[in-house]
Structure 1
C-alpha cells in the first residue's frame, strides 16, 4: 500500500495542476427557517428508514438509510432527479452483479472485473448522470455474493433494489410531499 501510494504520488507529479477557469459560484443562501425545516425532515426521513429497517429486520439497514441521505435535497427538482437516477443506477448495477454471479466463478476473473468497474466508476465521477450507485451496487453485491452463497443472486438483487426503493420513497415523502403539505397549510393560514 505504501509503495502504491508513493507510485501514485510520483505519477501525479508529472501532470500540471489544474486551475479552474473561473471562481466557483457560491451556492445560494436559503432562509434559515427553510433550512431548519429541511434539516428536520431529513433527520426524520433517515430515522424512519433506520426504524423501518430494524422493524423489518433487514439485513442491511444502512441501504435504505443511505438512500434517503444521498437522495434528499432541499430543492424538489434535484430530489426527483436524484431519486430517478439512483433507482435506475442501483437497479442496473444490482442486475449486472446478479447476472455476473450466475455466470462467474470466484477468483482472478472477479478481481479483474471489479478492477475494471472501479476504474469505470472513477472515470465517471464527474459525470452529470448519477451513475456511481450502479458501480457501487455491482461491487458490493459481487463481494457479498462471493462471500455468502446461502442466498441466490436473484434474492440479493431484490434485497438491494427494494431496500434502495424504500429509502427513495421515504426521501420523496419527507422531501417533496410533506413540504408541499406544509406550504399548502401556510397558504391557508395566511390571509390574502
Structure 2
C-alpha cells in the first residue's frame, strides 16, 4: 500500500513538473477574430543590457585577492565579479557587481564559499535608498588583529548618478553568515 501511494505521488509530481507550456484561446464577440496567447516557462528570458559601463577598472574584476592572519586558522580569498544585472545612470546604464568570498582553513579544506550582492546589505541597513541607488565598487579584507571568530570585509558602494561613495563594514562568521553590518 505504501509503495503504491509513493509511486502515484511520484507520477503525479513528474507530470505536474513536466508541464512547461500553457495555451489560452480567447474569441471575440465577432467570431472570426481570435486571440491566442502562449506562455512558456522555458522560453522566458531576461533581456541582457547592451553597452553598459562598469564602475570598476577591468584589471580589478575577476582578480582574486588572498588574505590571512597569523592568529586566525583561516585564509580568505575575495574576488570582485561583474553581475548580469544593471541599473540606470546618467550615461546610460552601469553593471552591478558581486563579491565572491572563499574561506579555506590553513590545511586547505574549504570552510565556506559565499557570493555577496548589494541586496544582502538591505536586511541590516536602516536606509535602503542608499543601497538601492548604489553599485558595489570594491571589497577589501579588514584585519581584526585579535583572534575573533569572524571575518570583516569593507564594501564600498558608489552612486553612479552622483559619484558619491558609501562604505559598509560586513562581519561574517566562519560559516559564511552575515552577523552584522555597520
Normalised-by-shorter TM-score class = under 0.3
Question: TM-score, structure 1 length as denominator?
Answer: 0.22
Higher helix share: 1
Question: TM-score, structure 2 length as denominator?
Answer: 0.23
